[in-house]
Amino acid sequence: MEIRIATRKSELALWQARHVADKLGSLPEVSSVKLVPLSTRGDEILDKSLQKIGGKGLFIKELEVAMQSGAADIAVHSMKDVPAVMPEGFCIAAVLERANPHDAFLSADGTSFTDLPPGAKIGSSSLRRQAQLKAIRPDIDVIPLRGNVNTRLQKLADGHYDAIILACAGLERLGFDSHITTQFDVELMLPAAAQGVVGIECLESRDELRRIVAMLEDPESKCTTTAERAVAAALEANCQSPVASYAFIHEETLTIEALVASPDGTQLIRERVSGHVNDAEKLGHSVAQQLLEKGARELLIETSA
């Protein structure tokens, strides 16, 4: 079978697509793999926040259109950018082994987060990151940061920010891990759902294609991704909501921690549950229910207002 991969044109997106292409190309069932680079509205509109133009779903819409039209067979995504509820007719056929799930702190001169001067400017367009940063350091100024990884690093180097926050996984995949000043521990900065996970999307109706793609599935990553995305689904949160979730496995026990916060960090609700690995989705819903009982719904409504 020939498989065509729809992908964004950014350096990181192309790295991820080539990574999947290499894995698919090693399967005897696959005769050839071709990349279909596409431009998305999320990549084109850089002068407005994602919240104002429709959220991270803008990064994948054109890729789904390509699959619907027959121009591509699958799409490769950073799972943290994929809405918790998939559009009708589409599915995640496989998720790969998770890379580093943590957030990275990058400062212009090597200054640590705690040593930043009062009023320091930190670049991030994520309300999740903003809320957790402000909860620790209410004095800092979190200002929007858009663009690909290279663009963001250049803006830091040019002095537009004192520091920026990026995902460790993306930096490490592109060989930019030397730029990382420190890595946030999950106690300080809970990651986005499925951060560090590459997922493969295709049409639900493509049974044979789904069977082949499923050969790349990593069972542990599938389990933690299911639990973390279940939190967002139960909370009816989108990729831009100040919501975080992180799951890990020890032997047969899955532990998931999640939080909902106000963008200014003054209100933060955090809960944690553990259970059997076979109950990933149930555990995700369980921790979401605990958050709702503590007032998460009201907090999310205030954020979206």
Which of the residues are catalytic?
Answer: 81
Chain-centroid distance of CA 172 in Å reads 15
Q: What angle do CA 29, 23, 223 make, to 5 degrees?
A: 105
Amino acid identity, position 283: L
Please give the span between the terminal C-alpha atoms of the chain, in angstroms, as a whole number.
48
CB 107 within 8 A of CB 133: no
* Residues facing residue 37 across a β-bridge: 7
